[in-house]
Amino acid sequence: MMLGIKSHKAFLRASIRRRRSQLRSNPDYRSFLAQEFEKNSKDLFSFLKEGDAVVAFLPLVHEPPIEKILLNLINRKINIFVPVVKPSRQLAWVRWVPDAPSVHNVLGIDEPVGEEYGSEIFLDADIRLMPALAVDVEGHRLGQGGGFYDTLCAALTEQHLQSTYTVIFDEDLLDGLPYEKHDFITPAVLTPSGPRRLRS
């Protein structure tokens, strides 16, 4: 039976989440992936200087482990901003430091507490790192289904796209994905194997 686009997306999300949930029971493998992310992304961040800004995300246990990357950037005095969920599918941004206080958001996820900034932080950052469940080789991105990043990314210019990466596991880069007109097409991915550009 042929699935509609929304049903196909829901099926894929459930399948990927089940596979990713296995990371909870394999901390050694997660640690290995964290080291691979750190090792293979160094060139990507090498141009950054003190005071530059990176927008990223604080990964949950089933998401790509980029904590080492973020800590290394902070040690270089680079500002890290992470999202906090707001009403109407909007995101605000808070500067993150290790051991920052946090609260549960409406989705039950811990978010840092601090001064909140608007979308200008996302647009003006020197590098943007976004989460996703999967990306295909044409750049179609499958998110969690909230639409937060599709809204934000609609404002990205061609110049912005040169420094925008979707962070996934290697096995989440697929040959094809169902997509809709409003879905963001990511120009590049960052996986444990390193950055890969999908389109110029």
Indicate the annotated binding residues for ATP: 9-13, 141-149
C-alpha torsion sign, points 119, 91, 166, 63: positive
Which residues participate in the annotated binding site?
A: 9-13, 58, 63, 141-149
Determine the length of the chain: 200
Q: How far apart are CA 112 and CA 94, in angstroms?
A: 7
List binding-site positions for substrate: 58, 63
Reported as half-sphere exposure (CB side, CA atoms, 13 A), residue 87 has a value of 0
Helices (H), 22-174: 27-40, 42-45, 67-75, 119-124, 148-153, 158-161
